[in-house]
Structure 1
Amino acid sequence: MTSETLLPGQPVALPLGPSPTLGAGLYAKDGHVRASLVGVPRYEGPTLAISRARPHPPTTNSVVLGVVTRLSPLQATVAISVVDGLPLPAGEEFTGVIRSQDVRATEKDKVRIGECFRGGDVIKGTVISLGDARSYYITTARNDLGVIFATSEAGATMEPVSWQAMRCPRTGRIEKRKCAKPENL
């Protein structure tokens, strides 16, 4: 039995031997036992249950997912909703800031925030500092960090075509973004 955090719908590995009784946070479907909430599988006597994983505030080096909520010439403001793979409870968000010097590792002085992010983009970043009392400082200056989901002006989900551009599949129009490394490139 692993102590790996499971997400809702993920299968739970059962131990060899007699099947345990299913407890809180588990359900059986199509012959498989699956998690119904975020947590870690635990035995409570003969019963297998999910202990709820508690999300924690971001710390330095936490990987975060969030939505860009506001842009200025010097920074993008992000509503953080996932910390180290654990979604935060509804209504509980942290605020992060991506400063222009933290967007990429090279040519930092040439970064234009409006060409890297747009409002509503979902980004993946790493916390580099606890920042000030209002927000965490986030960086996207690695190949695997940046925009992971964006919607075009035509309302379609955009596809990454390079580390700095995404294409609308509906119109074919290219829009600039600082993309997380596309899987197909």
Structure 2
Amino acid sequence: MVYAADTGAVLHEIQTGSSILAAPLSYTVDGEQYIAVMAGYGGGPFAYYPVGSAVEKYGNEGRLIAFKLGGVSVPLPVEVPKLGPIPEPPIISSASGETLERGKAIFEKACGECHWNTNGGYPDLRRMTASVHSIFNEIVLDGVYEPLGMAGFSDILSLDQMDDIYQYLLKISHEAYLEDHAQASAG
């Protein structure tokens, strides 16, 4: 948004398709003033994207945007493809409520920084394929996906804690699967 310096009133709104990340820089070329900003989402260790945000719709390609009076509209980034339906989990958790609560608490503390289960950043663990389910322990504890950026956590998670997390993920995966397919059926 462009604001009036004296009143603070909104003078103009500009759709960039990206979050403005850094402070603006003013410069001139041949006597014409430009305002440049870095755009993209991030700047910190935040992997989740707020629902409805530009980054959810357009992705997170960093870019430099320059404005000038009388300039053209900012080209919007290409929209990220929508994810397909959530796959049906291979099994349904029969864990106790206590196990699921423990799993949720551990997930939020140990996994949630990256895996907020949204369309962005890091994989949505509700969308694990059958092959990922089959090696979940090896991924989380042993770090078999370390070359892809997913370290192993055997130094901070026990096998029991990992199982609590997995049971919680099975539960929320099944709930998301049912919700996703109910919405698809409703049309």
TM-score (norm 1): 0.26
Which structure has the highest strand share of the two? 1
The structure whose RCO (Cα within 8 Å, separation 6+) is larger is: 2
TM-score (norm 2): 0.26
Which structure has the highest helix share of the two? 2
Q: Which has the larger radius of gyration?
A: 2
